[in-house]
Amino acid sequence: MDCPVHDDWLEAEFAVDTRLRLQVSRRLHCCRSAFQKIEVVDTPRFGRVLLLDDVINVTEQDEAVYHEMLCHVPMQAHADAQRMLVVGGGDGGIIREAVRYPGLRRAVLAEIDAEVIAASRSWLPGVSAGLDDPRVEICTTDASAYVHGHPDTFDIIVIDATDPIGAGQRLYTPEFYRDCRRCLRANGILTAQSESPFFDTELVTHIYTLARKWFPLVRMYTACMPSYVSGVWSFMWCAKSPAQSHLPCRTVPAGLHYYSHEIHRAAFALPPSIKRQFGF
């Protein structure tokens, strides 16, 4: 899904016949790292927008939906999560949500591209605010190599991966999911963004096939993301133990924008068509 900036409009192509256009008021930042093109623009409707290789990754308007649902769903389902690994997520949004929990002792950000972290620090301070928490360890490394080298280490793994192009391809392999399972401690939980169930059916099927090979319990949940393909986004929930519940069992941190226990429970209710399409 390409999002080239033409004149004063950003055009996100969801499919050959479907596009989202956002008016651009200012172009704030553009560089090319060793891995990808990184751009930040300002828009009247969605605020500042971070694009990686011309794909919308973060907008100030709706980022809280994405980051809260990826982070709080596993943190709320795990009774005593003390160690979290974030794969990708260089904008810092998942980390910002994780450090809301005083019981969290360690949060590792494994992001291959230091330039993404730098751009978010400079242009998206509200998203990257948690990166300076003393419990956070930032590792600019290949996350697939990191999980391979850290068995039985984390209670929660959150995969905030880009699309499977370039360096992101390593995060869509059977070996990566095998290593993620080994990386989790007993009763560990993994969540991942799992694309649009309406526009990316082949990729969604691939992601869930990978996870089902290594995890005894795999579920899908969804949230409303206006800036993402189709406006409905799916997330994958995997448990290392088949006895691990996906339901919330902790107090919700104060000050959230989207997540609540009611939203958590409702997010796992899938339409019959999606259940049939992806085998739930």
The two beta strands, 232-239 and 154-160, are unpaired
Residue 124: name the closest of 63, 44, 56 by CA: 63
* Cβ neighbours around 42 below 10 Å, total: 16
CA 44 to each of CA 37, 60, 120, 219: distance values in angstroms, whole numbers, following the listed order: 23, 11, 19, 36
131-151 as b/e: b if 16+ CB within 10 A: beeebbebeeeebbebbbeee
200 catalytic per annotation? no
CA 78 to each of CA 49, 188, 248, 249, 274: distance values in angstroms, whole numbers, following the listed order: 32, 8, 8, 7, 26
Of the candidates 113, 155, 160, 179, the residue annotated as catalytic is 160
Q: How far apart are CA 244 and CA 5, in angstroms?
A: 45
Q: Annotated catalytic sites, by residue?
A: 160
